[in-house]
Amino acid sequence: MFEIKTINSISDISAEVLHTLDLIQYPFISHGFLSAMEDSDCATSNTGWTPRHLLVLNNDNVIGFCPGYLKTHSYGEYVFDWSWANAYHQNGFDYYPKVLCAAPFTPSIGPRLLLNSEFENQRAEIWQQIIKYQVDHCTSNNLSSWHLLFANENEFKALDTLDIELIKRADCQFQWFNHNYQNFEDFLNRLASRKRKNIKKERSKIIQSGITVKRFTGDEITGELLDRFYLFYHSTYLKRGRQGYLNKEFFELALQHMPNQLFLCIAFKDSEAIAGALFFYDLKTLYGRYWGCLEEIDGLHFECCYYQGIEFAIEKGLERFDPGTQGEHKIPRGFEPVQSQSLHYIAHPGFKKAIDDFVTQEACMVEKYMQDARELLPFKKED
């Protein structure tokens, strides 16, 4: 048996200890990322994200880490359960607070249990203890539910063996995969002729508009560039009449804590920066996360957020490019449908049955949607 311990801040564990648990350096539950979230007050009790991280101990040694939050709303999660909360409210029950295992504001598939490699063959056993610990916490504190969002396939293989009954929910994302491409042209050559021409036309329009796109990583990302990017990011939210989830301090701290995992793409027109996209990356994957612009130019979003990302992933030898949620517009640009999954413990038996029925029907629609999306992929027929 392992010991499960709750900590109320990522600062309660050292960056060095957490780093030893993550072999691929997944950015979104790293010490640097979670510290930036907490220290900037983006993911704290003030914003409805009260940290409740879990440590897994073996003989008082930390051998595992699981991010966690007590949530008083469902903003910033991207697995939409507002209808569940509304059903609770209409029937006189409290849905919030709830317990969440996720990366804040980040719909990217990845590990949710960082584990010392010596204990990898005991991942399922450790998950069993973690979930029992969370279920007991929900019961003793009269909490409605526990949710595990965007876990990767490795986690779900372990979770499928558990004897604790959880509701599994499916959704669809679009990701790009690197089939040992040597360069962007090599990728284009795998596409059908018309799709290939469309992408070349889109990219040439950006050049003809007098726009130059430059990439920056690590120490190349200056404070001035980051300030400019934040202006783009913030103004894009203001156009929709709301504030962005993340403040300027978060981006400054992220750059300070994890500079070698940030990639910034900036578009210049007449030497003035007018748009930008900020990505994270680890040893295997590029993650497209944030975008903004001051001037709406046809095709600029595709260039900065997708084509520059694909080129970067090829140059770095990364296996895949996860550009975030939503968007059939990604399909003709070579992004393939991928199933994302979440797990949910619902304490109330009646609501559990109703939600289980709902996600079962929803899963059929998601599978049909993914099948239709595969038919629209731009690759040559032989591929």
Mean pLDDT (the chain) is 95
* Closest to 67 (Cα-Cα) out of 17, 25, 23, 33: 33
> Is 235 domain-assigned?
yes
> Is 158 domain-assigned?
yes
Give the tens place of pLDDT for each residue, 187-237: 999 999 999 999 999 999 999 999 999 999 999 999 999 999 999 999 878
Round to whole Å and give the CA distance between 362 and 344: 15
295 and 225 in one domain?
yes
> Is 142 domain-assigned?
yes
Round to whole Å and give the CA distance between 42 and 46: 8
Residues 6+ positions from 150 with CB-CB distance below 8 Å: 78, 79, 102, 103, 106, 107, 108, 109, 110, 112, 340, 341, 342
| Count of domains observed in the chain | 2
Round to whole Å and give the CA distance between 251 and 233: 11
Residues 6+ positions from 106 with CB-CB distance below 8 Å: 28, 150, 289
306 and 279 in one domain?
yes
Decide: 292 and 276 in contact? Cβ < 8 Å.
Answer: yes
> Is 329 domain-assigned?
no
Residues of the chain with pLDDT under 70: 383
Give the tens place of pLDDT for each residue, 159-175: 888 778 899 999 999 99
Pull the structure tokens for residue 61: 């040694």
232 and 110 in one domain?
no
146 and 31 in one domain?
yes
185 and 167 in one domain?
no
283 and 354 in one domain?
no
Phi, psi (5° rounding) for residue 83?
-65, -35
> Is 383 domain-assigned?
no
CATH number of the domain where residue 121 is located: 3.40.630.30
> Is 69 domain-assigned?
yes
Tokens 């959704």 sit on residue: 171
Task: Provide the residue range defining the domain that includes 238.
Answer: 179-318
371 and 252 in one domain?
no
188 and 159 in one domain?
no
140 and 22 in one domain?
yes
The confidence score (pLDDT) of residue 383 equals 62
